[in-house]
């Protein structure tokens, strides 16, 4: 079914989690007399199963002439209690890439380990391991690449990986230093522990 099939004017709404690419695509294919609203309901079946109150809903009015229709659509989410975030698609992708980076990088690694099954809830939310569905989602290399590269943030991703490596290196150094201090200050306790 082609776009010409729709009665005009029409409001086209995209709901993808990466915004810049669909925005550019819609501007190329949607007729000039139709409206475009880019959105990202930042929740899904798991996080929104108990309601949408307080959950983020990002949107950008890319090309809107029929403000009443656009507002009616947005009010669906506003009435459900969503936190409405109006921002550009470019800003969304930059912020999303930063916040998703840790969850998708560390979560991907942790999802392969046994420890993920006994992870505390607070830890799960930080590293992105709340459910088996999400673990399956994390294993999708395509999504990871799409968020990091299609969002034109490849260089930023490489820098974040380098910074993450440096941060972990510093943490490791501090832990080893602290362990050495403990062993030096409590040699008798350590020798008793070694005998057991």
Give the model's pLDDT for residue 193. Answer: 55
Give the tens place of pLDDT for each residue, 29-53: 998 889 999 999 988 888 889 999 9
- The model's confidence at residue 166, banded by pLDDT at 50, 70 and 90, is confident
Give the model confidence (pLDDT) of 57-79 as tens digits.
999 999 999 999 999 999 999 99
Contact 103, 128 (CB under 8 A): yes
Whole-structure pTM value: 0.60
User: How far is residue 125 from each of residues 130, 155, 165, measured CA to CA in Å?
Assistant: 6, 26, 21
pLDDT number for residue 4: 59
Q: Does domain 11-88 have CATH number 2.120.10.30?
A: no
Q: Where are the domains of the chain?
A: 11-88, 91-115+130-185
pLDDT over 70 at 118, yes or no? no
Question: Which among 107, 114, 110, 108 is positioned nearest to 128, based on CA atoms?
Answer: 107
Pairing verdict, β 56-63 and 35-41: antiparallel
Q: Are 62 and 40 in contact (CB under 8 A)?
A: no
Q: What is the pLDDT of residue 70?
A: 96
Strand duo 83-86 + 11-14: pairing: unpaired
How confident is the model at residue 86, as a pLDDT?
97
What pairing do the DSSP bridges indicate for beta strands 11-14 and 35-41?
A: parallel
């Amino acid at each position: 079914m082609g776009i010409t099939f729709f009665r005009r004017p029409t409001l086209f709404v995209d709901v993808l989690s990466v915004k810049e690419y669909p925005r550019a695509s819609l501007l190329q294919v949607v007729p000039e007399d139709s409206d475009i609203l880019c959105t990202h309901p930042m929740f899904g079946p798991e996080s929104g199963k108990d309601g949408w109150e307080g959950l983020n809903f990002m949107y950008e009015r890319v090309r809107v002439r029929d403000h009443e229709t656009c507002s009616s659509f947005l009010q669906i989410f506003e009435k459900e209690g969503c936190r409405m975030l109006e921002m550009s698609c470019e800003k969304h992708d930059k912020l999303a890439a930063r916040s998703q980076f840790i969850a998708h990088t560390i979560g991907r690694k942790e999802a392969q380990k046994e420890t993920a099954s006994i992870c505390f809830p607070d830890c799960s939310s930080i590293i992105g391991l709340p459910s088996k569905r999400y673990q399956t989602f994390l294993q999708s290399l395509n999504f990871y690449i799409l968020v990091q590269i299609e969002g034109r943030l490849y260089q930023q991703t490489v820098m974040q990986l380098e910074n993450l490596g440096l941060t972990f290196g510093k943490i490791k150094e501090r832990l080893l230093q602290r362990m050495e201090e403990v062993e030096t200050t409590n040699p008798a306790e350590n020798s008793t522990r070694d005998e057991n």
